[in-house]
Each structure stands twice: as structure tokens, then as C-alpha cells.
Amino acid sequence: MTLDPYNAFVEHAPDAPTSSGSLTGITIGVKANIAVEDLHWTAGMALFRDRIAPQDAEVVARLRAAGASITGILNMEEAALGAKTDNPWFGTTHNPHRMGHTPGGSSGGSGAAVAAGLCDAALGTDTMGSIRIPAAYCGVYGFKPAPGSVSQTGLELAEPGFDAIGPLARSLDLLEKVARVISEFGEAPAAPGCATLADLGAVECEPAVLQGFGAARSMCGEIAHVTLPHPLSRARYAGFIRTVRFMATHFADADPALLSDHLRRLIAYGPRRAEADWAEDQRVLAETKDAVRAIVADHGALLLPTAPQTAFAHSATAPANQADFTCLANVAGLPALALPAGFSADGLPVGVQLIGATGSEVALFARARALDAALAAYRPPTLAKEPVP
């Protein structure tokens, strides 16, 4: 068994025969909120600590049919709500690029396992950026399909309208192979060109993030600068409120002792929100969705940093703006792809993301492949295994 000093895996799967297909020989870890038959399906919660999945989630069944080997269950934030993957029930997951630092949340085990070479690829879930942020912090690739393009069967939901299961991998080629197996892949052409937000929506970013984004932007040729109707922080907060309102109902009958104090505090924001404020939140989300979709329709793709910062120490407070950029794809219901864009001076990865149009996934990956070739920014952490081609 491969050593896992990062606490990425919480359970390993027994060896099982595999089928022959496009993923034969590929090992894949699965986030703990996605069902894998006969393994624990906890969603990172004490509430579900003893729950055994009766059957595979549809995405897992598709992976097996394509020849992939499911290697085990990966750690995550409790209930997929959080920024660090310092799970109170299953322990803290560390970033392979820097022990003691977060791999991101909520799919932190997925990002860490892939970056460290503990599996070739992993499944994560993305509600407000939970695939792409770990991809950025861990220096790997991550893809969030449009919600309607990937099955939610066998997923412990965080917010049904935002949630999407997607892959992380150490190469763009493998990321696309896995994505094609689990999600619909449209071949509609995308509009030419690219756009980004004027002044990056006034989000404060670390210098290394700005440097990586600047390199990516310079490789995109002529780029349009666009604006949104609401600040990114406002859209992100409205998305958070929508998520915790769903969770407050979903876990209304749960034993409070089986929810951490941190999770209970977060969920409590939902029921406390005044109806007038919630109506305003919904207006913000609707107007942001329309604006982002219009930008992508007009310009082909929206290029942004993935996260405004590099991975931070687990001892630090999570930055409030962590999901300011990533939330847009979830709010708009669009596919998005995160890729490495460089490193900070002290050796921590940074990433950029492309948001594309639903039904134009082939074009989105083609654009990402050209950008990735120009950036050539992937670099494994020390002692990590080389990526699968």
C-alpha cells in the first residue's frame, strides 16, 4: 500500500477486476460524498460515519465500465462546506507541496492525492469552487462540468443547483479522458476570443497569482475587459446563503452532536437570513448568471485566476475571498477548467481557470490545451509520481 503522509485517503478499496476501455490501468480515488459500493459513504460527516454505499454512484459505475480501478475514498471538508479540509472527524489533509498547509476545500483529499501521485486521477465535487481551488493550491488540473452534464445519482448533495462531480488529474490529457467518461461532452463551436474582468472585479490577489494570471492573459492575444452587475464578493455570499439554506433543511432532523460546531454555525446563516435579504440574494444570483452567460456567449471563454491566493497554513484563518472567482461558474451553471499557471517565490502553486459554454466542452478543452502548452507550468511536488499520459 502506498504511504499517505498527507491523510488524503480515509479508506482504501480492495483490488477488483477491471473492464477494458479508455481508462484501463488508471487508478482513481473518490471523494467521500460520492457513493462507492461497499465502502463508507460519509460525506466527511460523523452523521454518516457508519453508512455503507449500497451501490456505485453513476459516475463511479461509468469509470469502472471504462476500465478504471477505484482505489479508495478521499478526505474532504465536512458536508462539503469549507475551505481547508481540516475535517473534525477524519483529520486534517496536508498539501503535498507544503506540509501543514491546506490542499484547499472541499475536495482537499482529491487534490492532495492526485498531486502526490497516490492515484492517477480523482473525483471531486464543486459547489462554489471545490474542485478548482484544490487544483490550484495543489498545482494540478481540475474540471467542473455544467451541473446538467453530469449525474448527481449517488452524490450527497450540498446544493443541487450548484453541485457538479468532476475530475482532477496531473495532466490535461487524462483530465479530459476522465471527463469524457463521466460527463456529457458537447462539440458546439465557441465564439472566438476571450474575456476577463476589468480590474479582476477588484478582488485582492497575491502577487504570485497576479503574475501567473498576467502570463496567461498575455498568451490569449486580444482580450475583452468586461464587468459584472454585482461585486464578486456579493455574488459569492449570495451563493453561500443559497447553499446553507438547502443544508439547513437537509440536516434539520440531524442529531446536533453529530455536526461540528463549525458546520452548525455555517448552516445557521441560512435560517437567519431575512426574507427581504434572501429575495435580494436571488436577484443578485439571477443577474450574475445572466451576465456571465452573456460574456461567454459573446467572447468564447472567461479567463480568471482560480483562487486569489496560494495555499495557506492550516493554522491561519481561511480568506473570505477564496471562492470569489470560482463561484461564477457555479452561479452561471457553466463548465470550468482550472490549470497550473506558475509558482510563488516560496514554491507554492498558482492557477488560472477558463469558464466556457455548456455544449462546447471540446472547445473549452482545446483552448485550455493551447494555454497549458504555452504556460508549461505543471511541476510535481517533491517525490510525487510522474503523471499518467
Question: Catalytic annotation on 130?
Answer: yes
Question: Catalytic annotation on 151?
Answer: no
Instruction: Give the chain's end-to-end CA distance (angstroms, integer).
Output: 23
CA distances (Å), 212 to each of 205, 255, 276, 350, 351, in order? 11, 45, 40, 7, 7
**Could you give phi then psi for residue 70, rounded to 5 degrees?**
-85, 120
Closest CA to 132 of 161, 102, 158, 167: 167
In angstroms, rounded to a whole number, what is the distance separating the alpha carbons of residues 199 and 274?
Answer: 32
Question: Catalytic annotation on 344?
Answer: no
Catalytic residue, chosen from 31, 84, 144, 177, is: 31
116-151 burial code (b ≥16 CB/10 A, e <16) = bbbbbbbbbbbbbbbbbbbbbbbbbbbbbbbbebbb
The DSSP output letter for 223 is: -
Catalytic residue, chosen from 106, 110, 171, 360, is: 106
Catalytic residue, chosen from 107, 130, 149, 360, is: 130
Q: Which helix (H) or strand (E) holds 385?
A: none
Q: Return the sign of the alpha-carbon dihedral for residues 30, 50, 89, 308.
A: positive
Encode 13-53 in three state secondary structure: CCCCCCCCCCCCCCEEEEECCECCCCCECCCCCHHHCCCEC
CA 244, chain centre distance (Å)? 18
CA distances (Å), 377 to each of 171, 188, 216, 296, in order? 11, 28, 10, 25
> Please, which residues have CB within 8 angstroms of residue 184's CB and are 6 or more apart in sequence?
145, 149, 150, 361
Catalytic center residues: 31, 106, 130
